[in-house]
Chains A and B, each alone.
Chain A
Amino acid sequence: MAVTTAPDVDVSGPILTSDGKPLKASLQKSLRKNKIRAMLLVAPTFVFLLFTFIIPVLALMMNSVDDTYINEVLPRSFAEFENWDAKELPPESMYKAMFTDIVEAEGLQIGKGSTRMNYAQSGWKSLMKKSRRNFNKLIKNEPDFAGPYKEAMIKADKRWGQLKYWQSLSVMKSNYTAGYYWNAIDRKYDVNKNVVMQPESRQVYVTFWLRTLLVSMLVTVFCVILAYPVAHLLATLPLRYSNILMICVLMPFWTSLLVRIVAWMIMLQQQGVVNDSLVAMGIVADDNRWEMMYNFTGTLIVMTQVLLPFMILPIYSVMKTISPVYMKAAQNLGATPRWAFIKVYVPQTLPGVGAGVILVFIVAIGYYITPELVGGKDGQLIGNQIAYHLKQSLNWGLASAMGVILLAAILILYWVYDKIVGIDNMRMG
C-alpha cells in the first residue's frame, strides 16, 4: 500500500531511516553496538580466565625454554664467552669476568644459578658455592686485589683449570634453551652443545614416558573389554531395569576420586577384602597373599575402575540409537546371529567406542593422584615426575618441559577426537 501511494520517495537513492541516515549505516552501527555489548558481557570472564588459567599455562610453556636467569647472574662472563674459541682454557679477561660476577652476585642468586649450571655440567653447584666463599675471603684480605685472576681462581679450586666447566657455559649462554626438552627424553647437550644421550645411570624419563603410554593403552583396552557388554546390556534392557544399572555406573562416576582410591585400598591390600575372600575360599594360601596394591597392578586396576564410566557412557549413548531392525534384517537375509553381530551391529557402535577410547586415553595419560597413592615404585607415571620436579627437586624447567610435551600430546588427541566425533558431541550421560 505504502509503495504505490508514495510517489515522492526517491527509490534510486539510499534508503533512509526516520532520522535521515542511510539505513545500511544505521544497521551496521546497531550491529556493532550489539557486538560490543556481547563482547562486554564475555570480557570479565575471559579476563579472569586469562589470569587464572591461560597465562599460567603459557607461563609453564615459557618456563620450559627460559634460560635468562643464569644470564642475569653472570652477565660479564657470558659477554666474554663470545670472544673465546672454547678450545683451550679461557684468557685472563674471562677469568676476571667470572670472578667479578661471582663476587657481585647475591648468595641466593649463586645458589639458584648454580643449580641451573649443575644441569649442564655436574660439579658446578659445589664449585660456585665454594668459589663465592673463597673469593669473598680473598677480597676481604686483599681489598685491592687486581689479579692475576686465573692463578688465584685455580688456586682456590682446581676445577677452574678444567676446560669442561668453561665449555659448558656454551649451553647456557642463550636466553632460550631446548635443553629441558632433551632432558625430558633422557638426552642432554654436551659441552659443545651437541645432543647426546644421558649417562646410563641417569636415563630414567623415557621409562616413565613408555610406562605412561603402556598404562594408558592397557587401561583403555581393559575399559573397552569391560564396557562394551555392559553398554550393550544397558541399551537393550527395558528402561525400568536399565535405570537401576545406570545408577551403578554413575555412582562411582559421581564420588570423589580419593574416596574410590581408599575403597580400593581396603579391597586390594594384603589384609584386604579380596585377599581375605580368596583365602577363605582356599584359592590362595594365607602366607602367600597376592600383592595387588602399591605396584603396577594396583595402578592398572584402580585406573580401570575410575575411568570405566568414561567408556561405558559414550558407547551406551551410541548403542541406544541403533535400531534392532538391522540385526533382524541381517538374520532374515541368512546371517547367523554371531555374523550379524560382527558385521552389522559392531560397525555401527564404532563411533561410540572411538569416542570412549580417546576420552579414556586422554584422561589416563595425565593421571597423577591414583599412581601417586596406589602405584608404589613401579606404578609411577609421567604426571608424578612433573609433580616431583615441581615440588621436590625444584627443577621447574624440566617439569615444565614434560608438562608441555604431555599437553601437546593431549591437544593432538583432542584434535583427532574433534575430527572423528566432534567436541560438541561429547556427552557424559
Chain B
Amino acid sequence: MALPAYKTTGQRFWHYVYLAFCAFVMFFLVAPLVAVIPLSFTSEAFLNFTPGMLSLDPDAFSFRWYRLLVGDCSDAVITTVCSDKWMIGLKNSFFVGIASTILATTLGILAALGLSKPHMPYRKLIMAALISPMIVPLIISAAGMFIFFAKVNLVSTFTGLIFAHTALGLPFVVITVTATMSGFDHSLTRAAENLGGHPTHNFFKIQLPLIAPGVISGALFAFITSFDEIVVVLFVGGADQLTLPRQMWAGIRQEISPTILAAATILVLISVALLTTIELLRRRSERLRGISPA
C-alpha cells in the first residue's frame, strides 16, 4: 500500500509498524496450520524440521505416515503402534456424519418451511429453541446428553451419537434454509397449487430446487459439525463409537506422532474443500437473488 507523498516520516513509521503488526497476526493465524502439512511428510519419527527437510533433500520426505494411517503396517522401521483404528475412525465418522446430516437436513427443512409461513405463532420462541444447541457451550450440552441418555440407554450407542450430532447440526440447517426461504417468491407455490399440483409434489418440483443452495450449504455445515465433533463423542460415545476426532484425541493424549499430522493434513484438506463449496454456493445464491426482480 503506497502512502501519499505528503505524509510525514513519523506517519510513515507508524504505518509500517501497523503493516508489520498485521503481518505478524496473519502469521500467527496461519503458520501453525501451514507447518503441519510439510511435517506430515517427514521420513523421521520426530516432530520438528530435520536439516534434511530444510535443505529439501528428497530422502527426508516420505509417505510412510500416510501408509500407517491407512493401516498398512509393512513399514518395519516404524516402532509406533500401527493399527487399523484410523480407518475404522474414518468409516465411523462418515457413517455418523452422513446419518446425522440426513436427519438434520430433513428436520431442518421441515422446521424452516413451518417457520417461513406467515401465520406461524411463537416464531421467535421456536427459533430460539431450535438454534439453542449452537449457543449452549458444548461441554454443557454434552453433560446434559450424557446424564439423560444414560437414563434411556442411549449412551455408547450409534443411535445416541447420531441423535446428539443431529441436534448440534440442526441450527445450521434451520438458519441457512430460513435465510434462503426469505428470498423465495411464495407466489410460485401458490401458482403451482392453482394449477392443481399436490403440495408434496409442488415442494419437490418447485420449492426444493430453488432453495437447494441453502439446503446444501446447511447440510454441509451439519456434516462438518458432526465430522469435527469431539466433546459430545467423548461423553455420549463408547469404545465402539470410535470416530476420527476421537482417535485423534486418543493419539494426542498418548504421544503425538507424525501419523496424527498426516491425519490432520487430510482433515484440513477435507474441511477446506467442503467450505469452499459452501462459499461458492453462497455466492451463487446471492448472485441469483441479486438478478431476480424480487
Provide the residues of chain B in CB contact with A58, threshold 8 Å: 144
B136 touches A259 (CB 8 A): no
B252 touches A373 (CB 8 A): yes
Rounded to whole angstroms, the CA-CA distance of A255 and B143 in the bound complex is: 25
A400 touches B143 (CB 8 A): yes
Rounded to whole angstroms, the CA-CA distance of A367 and B271 in the bound complex is: 22
Partner of B260, one of A227, A250, A262, A309: A262
Rounded to whole angstroms, the CA-CA distance of A151 and B32 in the bound complex is: 70
The interface-forming segment of A105-113, A269-277, A317-325 is A269-277
Interface flag for A337 (CB, 8 Å): yes
Known A37-B117, A256-B271; contact A266-B29, beta-carbon cutoff 8 A: no
Interface size on B, residues (CB 8 A): 78
Interface flag for B16 (CB, 8 Å): no
Known A42-B115, A45-B107; contact A262-B36, beta-carbon cutoff 8 A: yes
Interface flag for A240 (CB, 8 Å): no
Interface flag for A416 (CB, 8 Å): no
Rounded to whole angstroms, the CA-CA distance of A424 and B136 in the bound complex is: 17
Interface flag for B248 (CB, 8 Å): yes
B137 touches A410 (CB 8 A): yes
B107 touches A44 (CB 8 A): yes
A262 touches B117 (CB 8 A): no
Quick one: closest A residue to B145, CB to CB? A56
Interface flag for A368 (CB, 8 Å): yes
A40 touches B114 (CB 8 A): yes
Partner of B261, one of A51, A262, A264, A362: A262
Provide the residues of chain A in CB contact with B145, threshold 8 Å: 52-53, 56
Known A42-B114, A46-B129; contact A255-B267, beta-carbon cutoff 8 A: yes
Rounded to whole angstroms, the CA-CA distance of A56 and B25 in the bound complex is: 40
Interface flag for B275 (CB, 8 Å): yes
Rounded to whole angstroms, the CA-CA distance of A57 and B144 in the bound complex is: 5
A368 touches B138 (CB 8 A): yes
Quick one: closest B residue to A336, CB to CB? B11
Known A35-B120, A255-B272, A263-B35; contact A44-B136, beta-carbon cutoff 8 A: no
The interface-forming segment of B70-78, B186-194, B228-236 is B228-236
Which residues between 62 and 101 of chain A lie within 8 Å of chain B, taking CB atoms?
63
B29 touches A308 (CB 8 A): yes
Rounded to whole angstroms, the CA-CA distance of A369 and B139 in the bound complex is: 9
A-B contact count (CB 8 A): 247
Rounded to whole angstroms, the CA-CA distance of A386 and B144 in the bound complex is: 11
Which residues between 221 and 278 of chain B lie within 8 Å of chain A, taking CB atoms?
228, 230-231, 234-235, 245, 248-249, 252-253, 256, 260-261, 264, 267-268, 271-272, 275
Quick one: closest B residue to A264, CB to CB? B32
CB distance from A423 to the nearest CB of B (A): 8
Q: For the complex, would chain B's binding face be called helix, strand, loop or mixed by DSSP majority?
A: helix
Interface flag for A149 (CB, 8 Å): no
Quick one: closest A residue to B165, CB to CB? A52
The interface-forming segment of B57-65, B80-88, B146-154 is B146-154
B1 touches A366 (CB 8 A): no
Provide the residues of chain B in CB contact with A259, threshold 8 Å: 33, 36, 248, 264, 267-268
Q: For the complex, would chain A's binding face be called helix, strand, loop or mixed by DSSP majority?
A: helix
Interface flag for A23 (CB, 8 Å): no
Interface flag for A403 (CB, 8 Å): yes
Interface flag for A154 (CB, 8 Å): no
Interface flag for A390 (CB, 8 Å): yes
Quick one: closest B residue to A384, CB to CB? B139
Interface flag for A245 (CB, 8 Å): yes
Interface flag for A251 (CB, 8 Å): yes
Partner of A248, one of B26, B143, B166, B260: B26
A263 touches B137 (CB 8 A): no
Which residues between 12 and 39 of chain B lie within 8 Å of chain A, taking CB atoms?
18-19, 21-22, 25-26, 28-33, 35-36, 39
Known A248-B29, A266-B36; contact A49-B139, beta-carbon cutoff 8 A: no
Interface flag for A391 (CB, 8 Å): yes
Which residues between 119 and 143 of chain B lie within 8 Å of chain A, taking CB atoms?
119-121, 126, 129-130, 132-133, 135-141, 143
Known A248-B26, A266-B39, A406-B137; contact A53-B47, beta-carbon cutoff 8 A: no
Rounded to whole angstroms, the CA-CA distance of A266 and B149 in the bound complex is: 37
Known A42-B111, A258-B245; contact A56-B119, beta-carbon cutoff 8 A: no
Interface flag for B164 (CB, 8 Å): yes
B133 touches A369 (CB 8 A): no
The proximity string for A residues 397-423 relative to B, scoring 1 for CB distances below 8 Å and 0 otherwise, is 001100100110010001000000000
Interface flag for A22 (CB, 8 Å): no
Quick one: closest A residue to B266, CB to CB? A259
Known A229-B21, A368-B139; contact A261-B120, beta-carbon cutoff 8 A: no
A41 touches B114 (CB 8 A): yes
22 A-B contacts (beta carbon < 8 Å):
A34-B118, A34-B119, A45-B108, A45-B110, A52-B164, A57-B144, A58-B144, A229-B18, A230-B25, A255-B33, A256-B268, A259-B268, A266-B48, A267-B32, A272-B47, A276-B49, A367-B139, A368-B138, A369-B231, A373-B249, A390-B147, A400-B143
Closest 8 CB pairs of A and B: A366-B137, A41-B114, A263-B32, A56-B144, A42-B114, A38-B117, A56-B148, A45-B111
Known A48-B167, A53-B145, A229-B22; 7 more pairs at CB < 8 Å:
A42-B111, A45-B130, A55-B148, A60-B147, A337-B11, A387-B235, A399-B143
